[in-house]
Amino acid sequence: MPITILIGAQWGDEGKGRVVDWLASSADIVARYAGGDNAGHTVALDSSVYKLHLVPSGILHSDVVSIMGNGMVINPVNLVREIESLRKLGLEITPERLVISSRAHIITPAHVALDKANETVLGDSKIGTTLRGIGPAYLDKTGRAGIRTGDMLLDVEEFAERLIATIESANARLALQGMETLDPQSAAESYLEAAAVLKPFIKDTSIYLYAALTAGKHIVCEGAQGTLLDIDHGSYPFVTSSSPTAGGALTGLGVGPLFVDRVLGVAKAFSTRVGGGPMPTELEGEIARRLRGSGDNFWDEYGTTTGRPRRCGWLDVVMLRYAVSVNGFSEMMLTKLDILSGLDELKLAVAYEIDGQRHEYPPVNNETLDRATPIYETLPGWHEDISNCRAFSQLPAAALNYIERVASLCAVPINSVSVGPERDQLVLR
Ligand code: IMP
């Protein structure tokens, strides 16, 4: 099994962190390929809860190498902070265990300031970004004006010069929008310190991965965000600025497609979304509150990165079917099935009705999608506590029926479900 790609099949927050943690137990390398610290991957382990934003979830396994790929955008100061906090929790983080691509792009303080300024200007039509500077950093990347992690290997003065130039160019844009500008010198200082810490971790990860693959190593590609937030395939412009889909894993790591033999789509058993943009099955009221949880538990539906309450709704099979077609999943996993326990009935959006016509796939324009009414199929719920189930045969008939119906509507097998946040709360076929 050379490469397994793990993809969020919805709008992010599908519980990918714990799935990567599970897959990592039989992997040599876990590699992240897109996004930055907009992600929040949570893994519960031995009464500790690890919240990872930049470092791949493989870091929790001492025999796994974690790679941060070229497709990522990295805030070096936040990365150093994350490494320090993981070390405090007892994890060993060395350049042998964590390798950072020299081709990833750097998020500067200017990108963070521009992200905030852009959202302020958009007002009510804002995207609802995580305000981590993701969009502006990718904009500089594709505009060929970005700075890269490899630049941290240059001598300090040269790196400082590049950093200051980026900040000065952002200042011009900030001033145009009537926003406060940054002091380039002081903004650069903490970055120079971070660069000194990170230098030994930086390598050409594409070459590293090719050597590993040809030596027969098994790599798990850890997707961040989700298919419906993809810059090309998501509900544009309410998307992130990277490619969290299967194709993005290849370009975001610099590996060839022939090494991939498994594409695992991870979907939550219901829908959630954080930030703006269409969500046809969004619910308000009692069921939404129930799906969201009180916020007292780390697995409740509040953003790991921003703390924002997530919008919740019934499982949207139309979107899921679309995610299947974009990524070509070889199988899917359903997470948080336990949260559905106790509901008398469950609904699945199997199609949309738009202007009197039935649609099996989402339309491209948000204006059309806004007119979509979900066509629901109602399934019986179950009342049993399923958190201790560990085999499909232990699940109640209604839960099995729900899983099989989703699999059949998507025409992809579902071979695993999660029934709680702990490492062992998995039900495998
Ligand atoms: P950005 O990635 O910060 O630019 O945010 C763009 C959109 O993606 C917003 O709707 C965010 O809420 C959403 N987003 C970004 N990262 C995540 C994530 O890890 N989980 C869920 N939503 C995300």
pLDDT at 1 over 70: no
Residue 40 CA to ligand 1 center (angstroms) comes to 10
pLDDT at residue 374, rounded to an integer: 98
Out of 57, 111, 229, mutate this one to test ligand 1's pocket (max ligand atoms within 8 Å of CB): namely: 229
pLDDT at residue 306, rounded to an integer: 85
Cis? peptide before 257, omega within 30° of 0: no
Q: Locate the DSSP E strands across 192-246.
A: 202-203, 219-222
Residue 34 in contact with ligand 1 by CB distance below 6 A:
no
Q: What confidence tier does 187 reach under pLDDT thresholds 50, 70, 90?
A: confident
| pLDDT tens-digit readout, 30-58 | 999 999 999 998 888 877 888 899 999 99
| pLDDT tens-digit readout, 214-223 | 999 999 999 9
> Which atom of ligand 1 has the smallest separation from the CA of 129?
5
Angstrom distance (rounded) from CA 424 to CA 240:
32
pLDDT at 304 over 90: no
Sketch the domain layout of the chain as residue ranges.
3-94+204-428, 105-201
The catalytically annotated residue of 21, 28, 37, 41 is 41
Residue 112 in contact with ligand 1 by CB distance below 6 A:
no
Give the residue-averaged pLDDT of 162-178.
92
Angstrom distance (rounded) from CA 34 to CA 28:
20
Is 41 considered catalytic here? yes
DSSP annotation of 29 reads E
Residue 279 in contact with ligand 1 by CB distance below 6 A:
no
Angle between helices 156-176 and 109-122 (to 10 degrees): 10
The one-letter amino acid code at 205 reads T
Angstrom distance (rounded) from CA 28 to CA 260:
15
pLDDT at residue 355, rounded to an integer: 97
Is 359 considered catalytic here? no
Sequence-distant (≥ 6) Cβ neighbours of residue 272 within 8 angstroms: 10, 11, 13, 291, 292, 301, 310, 311, 312, 313
Out of 7, 11, 38, 271, mutate this one to test ligand 1's pocket (max ligand atoms within 8 Å of CB): namely: 38
Q: Is 342 helix (H, G, I), strand (E, B) or coil?
A: coil
Residue 129 in contact with ligand 1 by CB distance below 6 A:
yes
Residue 277 CA to ligand 1 center (angstroms) comes to 11
pLDDT at residue 278, rounded to an integer: 96
What is the average pLDDT value for the chain, to the nearest integer?
A: 96
> Which atom of ligand 1 has the smallest separation from the CA of 35?
2
Residue 243 in contact with ligand 1 by CB distance below 6 A:
no
Residue 275 in contact with ligand 1 by CB distance below 6 A:
yes
Q: Do domains 3-94+204-428 and 105-201 have the same CATH topology?
A: no
Angstrom distance (rounded) from CA 412 to CA 13:
21
Angstrom distance (rounded) from CA 232 to CA 244:
10
Q: Are 351 and 383 in contact (CB under 8 A)?
A: no
> Which atom of ligand 1 has the smallest separation from the CA of 242?
2
Residue 73 in contact with ligand 1 by CB distance below 6 A:
no
Residue 128 in contact with ligand 1 by CB distance below 6 A:
yes
Q: Is 60 helix (H, G, I), strand (E, B) or coil?
A: helix
CATH class of 3-94+204-428: alpha beta
Instruction: Specify which residues 24 forms β-bridges with.
Output: none
Sequence-distant (≥ 6) Cβ neighbours of residue 306 within 8 angstroms: 130, 131, 274
pLDDT at residue 96, rounded to an integer: 97
Q: Which fold has domain 105-201?
A: Adenylosuccinate Synthetase, subunit A; domain 2 (1.10.300)
pLDDT at residue 46, rounded to an integer: 79
What percent of the chain shows pLDDT beyond 70? Answer: 100
Residue 230 in contact with ligand 1 by CB distance below 6 A:
no
Residue 274 CA to ligand 1 center (angstroms) comes to 7
Residue 239 CA to ligand 1 center (angstroms) comes to 7
Give the residue-averaged pLDDT of 313-319.
98
Residue having the nearest C-alpha atom to atom 9 of ligand 1: 129
pLDDT at residue 175, rounded to an integer: 93
Residue 21 CA to ligand 1 center (angstroms) comes to 22
